[in-house]
Amino acid sequence: MKIIERTIYTDKIISFFDKGIIKVLTGQRRVGKSFLLKQLSESVEKSYPDANIILINKEFEKFRFIETEVELFAYINEHLSDSKKNYLFIDEIQDIVGFEHVLRSLQAEDKCDITCTGSNAKMLSSELSTYLSGRYIEFYIQSLSYQEFLLLNELENTDTSLKLFLTYGGLPYLSRLQLDEENVLEYLRNVFSTILLKDVVSREGIRNVAFLETLVGYIADNVGSLFSANNIHKYLKSQRVDISVSIILNYLRALSNAYIVHKVQRFDINGLKKFEISEKYYFEDLGLRNCQQNIDLSRDIHKLMENAIYNHLKLLGYEVYVGQMDKLEIDFVGIKKGQKIYVQSAYLITDEKIHEREFGNLLKIQDSYPKYVVTMDNFTSGGNFEGINNIHLKDFLCKNTF
């Protein structure tokens, strides 16, 4: 199995070791958090050969008995060293009932340096925020970026490789399957079922599983489209299905808590305010989005392009919004440290009307922040039109700064 260093994460996380703060790696299951945790423990072992490392992985049979804070505290106390610096690593900590009490006690007594992973955002908004406010820092881990996908699968940056990424997504285990369509899709469907069962249905107490699956399909089919819970409610009523708006909102929130999808709000470019109604949803992983559908790149390429752009902007640390300017829409506004970037997505620039829509909207923004039109058009990309960059998607996804 080929191994790659995900330094975009490890460099940041390592800088917080021995600072008296708990490090929490969050993100969807199967995006590589467990492996990152192992890499971090190995980094500590290399830097401090005499350190005492306690690594608990809840997916291993030997740790299955640790179900509550009582078993967790007992195991840790048994393995703590009085004469060495202790480093504690716990994987999928949300599966241990009352874990937050243990972390608070260990952190308060400065018994060990703590790093853990979790696959549900609700854990942060409730357990951790309540008991460890100001004592932890979150690192959001995404599935493989396009550059990491190329590196792990030993591929060149070509149109063919890009289409593989847009089709199969970036779950690290795919490199073992050699991107064989039948095996990949079977794996993705199994992963999706596991995430839905463990991190949505079980953890959130979902009762109407059939509707949850229908909702996922609806989001997958409407990636990049503005909609609201009211829209979904009206659509369902037209199909003679009566689901309340409050239940739809709860299910959308549950999917977001499991990092399956991400909600993107609208942002008024002129008024610098956020809109509270109608938003877009994008999937954490393109492969998990596609395994819900019959994959058809010719039909879904616009949706997958937008999803890939959103994920890349998030990877680079931007807060991402849908831009609104009067009646015009800008696909993405990224904001980071007071700086902005504007991005339009267009599969091909085939005529003047498309050119005017994509470039014209950006030209109406009266500031000097970077503006991009991202396409998959090999004939037009690479140029510049009145200060607006026209760039191919495969090159946009390889940029680390703008």
Q: 129 and 152 share a domain?
A: no
Does the structure show a pLDDT above 70 at 1? Answer: no
Give buried/exposed letters for 196-213 (b at 16+ CB in 10 A, else e): bebbbbebbebeeeebbe
Q: Is residue 84 part of a domain?
A: yes
The region, left, alpha or beta by phi > 0 then psi within -120 to 50, assigned to residue 133 is beta
Does the structure show a pLDDT above 70 at 311? Answer: yes
Q: Is residue 250 part of a domain?
A: yes
- Domain final residue, candidates 90, 113, 140: 140
Q: What is the pLDDT of residue 95?
A: 86
Q: How far apart are the first and last CA of the chain?
A: 33
Q: 300 and 186 share a domain?
A: yes
Q: Is residue 402 part of a domain?
A: no
Sign of the dihedral defined by the CA atoms of residues 197, 292, 266, 143, in that order? positive
Structural domain boundaries, residue 135? 7-140
How many independent structural domains does the chain possess?
A: 2
Residue 233 per-residue DSSP state: H
**Six-digit token string for 379:** 């004939």
CB 138 within 8 A of CB 124: yes
Q: 293 and 371 share a domain?
A: yes
Which amino acid is present at 28? Q
Q: 271 and 359 share a domain?
A: yes
- Domain final residue, candidates 140, 163, 191: 140
- Work out the pLDDT band at 253, boundaries 50, 70, 90: very high
Q: 80 and 16 share a domain?
A: yes
Q: 251 and 362 share a domain?
A: yes
Q: 129 and 207 share a domain?
A: no
Q: What is the CA radius of gyration of the chain?
A: 22
**Average pLDDT of the chain?**
92
Q: 82 and 204 share a domain?
A: no
Q: Is residue 226 part of a domain?
A: yes
Q: 104 and 179 share a domain?
A: no
CB 395 within 8 A of CB 374: no
Q: Is residue 50 part of a domain?
A: yes
Q: Is residue 42 part of a domain?
A: yes
Does the structure show a pLDDT above 70 at 193? Answer: yes
- What is the C-alpha separation between 219 and 58, in angstroms, rounded? 31
CATH number at residue 43: 3.40.50.300
Q: 216 and 77 share a domain?
A: no
CB 132 within 8 A of CB 100: yes
Q: What is the pLDDT of residue 277?
A: 75
* DSSP H or E segment with residue 357: helix 352-363
The three-state secondary structure class of 273 is strand
Sign of the dihedral defined by the CA atoms of residues 341, 345, 349, 352, in that order? negative
**Six-digit token string for 301:** 């390429």
Q: 17 and 34 share a domain?
A: yes
- Domain final residue, candidates 140, 158, 192: 140
Q: 133 and 168 share a domain?
A: no
pLDDT in tens, 201-228: 998 899 999 999 999 999 999 999 998 8
Out of 3-7, 259-263, 324-328, give the one with best mean pLDDT: 259-263
Does the structure show a pLDDT above 90 at 353? Answer: no
**Six-digit token string for 13:** 């996380």
Q: What is the pLDDT of residue 240?
A: 85
Q: What is the pLDDT of residue 314?
A: 97
- What is the C-alpha separation between 228 and 214, in angstroms, rounded? 15
* DSSP H or E segment with residue 335: strand 328-336
Q: Is residue 401 part of a domain?
A: no
Query: 194 to each of 112, 132, 221, 268, 380, how far by Cα in Å?
Result: 32, 29, 21, 38, 42
- Work out the pLDDT band at 28, boundaries 50, 70, 90: very high
The three-state secondary structure class of 350 is coil
Q: Is residue 41 part of a domain?
A: yes
